[in-house]
Structure 1
Amino acid sequence: MDYRAFKVNVTCVEGIEGVLSFVNFFHKSKVYAAVSITGDLLANQETPLAKYFGENPVWNWPMKFYLKESKLQENALTLRIQLRRKRIFGGDEYIAEALVPLKNLFDGNKNVMDENYCSSWLLSPSGGRRGFVYFSYYFSRTYAATAESDGNSIVAPLSAWDC
């Protein structure tokens, strides 16, 4: 089975005025992005809490995922970027999310192995638009998986970023 490494760098969010203006007695609201690939194995990663420049959170945080090539070509994988507010009590609050089919990102490039820049709408839980998320992404060439696999998890090649 072939795999392809996918690197995504969540850069910043723009246009969500009023959402992050909550200030309590001790500190300003803190936001992070939870990034996952849906449609195959659960792969979740999170950015650290955002650095602020006005109302727009900034991360510039790279992440790596390994995708099954067959799932990518079937259009079965989706990049999901959720914006969440860190709370002390009651768990973190879901603010908005962006869903981007990976097949669209993969097919939309003339040279797949170049770094590309993209933006996507953030949609609120009610379905309304809440601003944009900006990110860059990169697909590596395909690699065969190593023989060591425990069923559901992927043992990715070590040389995936040597291209």
Structure 2
Amino acid sequence: MAYRVLEVTLLSAKDLKNVNLITRMEVYAVATISGDPITRQCTPPDPYGGRNPTWNATLRFDVPPTAEEAKGGCLHILLRAERTFGADRDVGEVIVPLPEVLTGGGLGAPNMPQFASYQVRKVHRT
């Protein structure tokens, strides 16, 4: 079965909550399709941006070709702050339904880039 390729370029984030008390945040993004660890991809951390990181990193994902298989799926982006001592800390997350990012790449304009901006939300762990 042929899969579609979803290419996502993560540009930047603005006004993130500072989760480091002493040092400047070095934020990176961890992106997955529906939280599946097999699809996990990361941007390099931005050592200079602090609360306003910039990555301009392009990630490529294989996505099921039909809407039925992608239904309920999402592009999950977790923002984390790299730490020298201790575990990295979650800064926030963005969850985008797959149908929202897969529309517009159909027969009419398969290579036309789409630009979107999303609100970073507090991470909710269950």
User: 1:120 is matched with which residue: 92, 112, 118?
Assistant: 118
Query: What is the aligned partner in structure 1 of residue 41 from structure 2?
Result: 45
Deviation at residue 88 of structure 1 after TM alignment: 2.3
Q: Deviations over 1:35-86 (max 9, x none)?
A: 111176730011001153573100000111111113xx02232111111011
* Aligned equivalents of 1:54, 1:35: Cα separation in 2: 20
Residue type at the aligned position of 1:3:
Y
Asked if residue 97 in structure 1 is aligned to residue 87 in structure 2, the reply is: no
Distance 1:52 1:94, change over 3 A: same
User: 2:63 is matched with which residue: 59, 63, 67?
Assistant: 67
* Aligned equivalents of 1:54, 1:45: Cα separation in 2: 21
Higher strand share: 1
Query: What is the aligned partner in structure 2 of residue 34 from structure 1?
Result: 30
* Aligned equivalents of 1:65, 1:91: Cα separation in 2: 27
TM-score (norm 1): 0.64
Deviation at residue 20 of structure 1 after TM alignment: 2.9
Distance 1:35 1:108, change over 3 A: same
Unaligned runs of 5+ in 1: 127-163
What RMSD over aligned residues (CA atoms) do the two structures have, in Å? Answer: 2.4
User: Does the CA contact (< 8 Å) of 1:20 and 1:29 recur in 2?
Assistant: yes
Query: What is the aligned partner in structure 1 of residue 103 from structure 2?
Result: 107
Residue type at the aligned position of 1:103:
P
Query: What is the aligned partner in structure 1 of residue 11 from structure 2?
Result: 11
Distance 1:40 1:34, change over 3 A: closer
Residue type at the aligned position of 1:61:
A
Matched residue pairs, number? 120
Residues 58-67 or 74-83, more deviating? 74-83
User: Does the CA contact (< 8 Å) of 2:11 and 2:56 recur in 1?
Assistant: yes
Deviation at residue 14 of structure 1 after TM alignment: 1.3
TM-score (norm 2): 0.80
